[in-house]
Amino acid sequence: MMNRLDYLIDYLLKEDPQYAELQIPSDLQGKRDLFRALRNVRPPKPVGEEFLRLQDEELQAQLQEKGIVKLADVQQLSIFNSQFSISLWQGDITRLKADAIVNAANSRGLGCWHPLHSCIDNAIHSAAGVQLRQQCNDVLKGALIDTGEAIVTPAYNLPSKYVIHTVGPIIPDGTPTQEQEKQLAACYVNSLHLAEANGCRSIAFCCISTGEFRFPNQLAAEIAVQTVKNYLTAHPDCSVKQVVFNVFKNLDKDIYGRLLQ
């Protein structure tokens, strides 16, 4: 394992002369952190087959250590129309084996560039591998993702099949306008459209626009739950049969728990 990480880190260090002075740490966690950080700042560009093979081995090993969460093990909190279920799960979304997981992306759509940042955009790109940023770049071709819109890509080293990248509204003062509320709702609608277009039977949503984007947690959850319920009610033949609201903070777990009772 150590030799594999040494090779991967050395490959990334040699790609960019500015990192020539960096030393490879001696401990496993230090190696993994540097490997992730270097990928976080790496621009989308081709990479060698041996690098991809070893990267995928390493990321799959890390996934097995974290543990894959099957949706059968996620508690169903709401069932309606006798065919759709809504669940709540607290934890790392990169462990969920849903057909699609939803990433709270920024408008560039290329992931988080801040090394080891704790945002979900960074976590998803880091766990998926360098292929994800390259694929997003190929899809967007330099264009931006409009607020409320979404794109879909393969999930690569994640246990899901697809990643749906959507851009929620940014609320500098913490007080969204009606238009921004509509934009947040559009994130959920457009993500469901893409999931259905790709034949997905399950989708996991993160708490879009909360946190650094400063959309109020309570209102964001209310919009999320109501929008999803309205969509499934209006589309009884939708391929998506299970929706999971993924939360990380206890605050959001309590909010969604009350809304889904």
Cα 157 from Cα 139, distance rounded (Å): 19
In the predicted model, is pLDDT for residue 74 greater than 90? no
Cα 200 from Cα 204, distance rounded (Å): 11
Question: Do the beta carbons of residue 31 and residue 5 sit within 8 Å?
Answer: yes
Cα 62 from Cα 136, distance rounded (Å): 23
pLDDT in tens, 121-169: 999 999 999 999 999 999 999 999 999 999 999 999 999 999 999 999 9
Domain map of the chain by residue range? Answer: 2-66, 71-259
- Residues paired with residue 78 on neighbouring β-strands, in sequence order: 86
pLDDT at 163: 98
Give 71-259's CATH code, choosing from 3.40.220.10, 2.60.40.420, 3.40.47.10, 3.40.50.300: 3.40.220.10
What is the helix, strand, coil percentage profile of the chain, to 5?
50, 15, 35
pLDDT in tens, 163-215: 999 999 999 998 999 999 999 999 999 999 999 999 999 999 999 999 889 99
pLDDT at 241: 95
Mean pLDDT of the chain: 95
pLDDT at 75: 72
pLDDT in tens, 50-70: 999 999 999 999 999 999 999
In the predicted model, is pLDDT for residue 1 greater than 60? no
pLDDT band of residue 2 (cuts 50, 70, 90) is: low
Count of positions (residues) in the chain: 261
pLDDT band of residue 80 (cuts 50, 70, 90) is: low
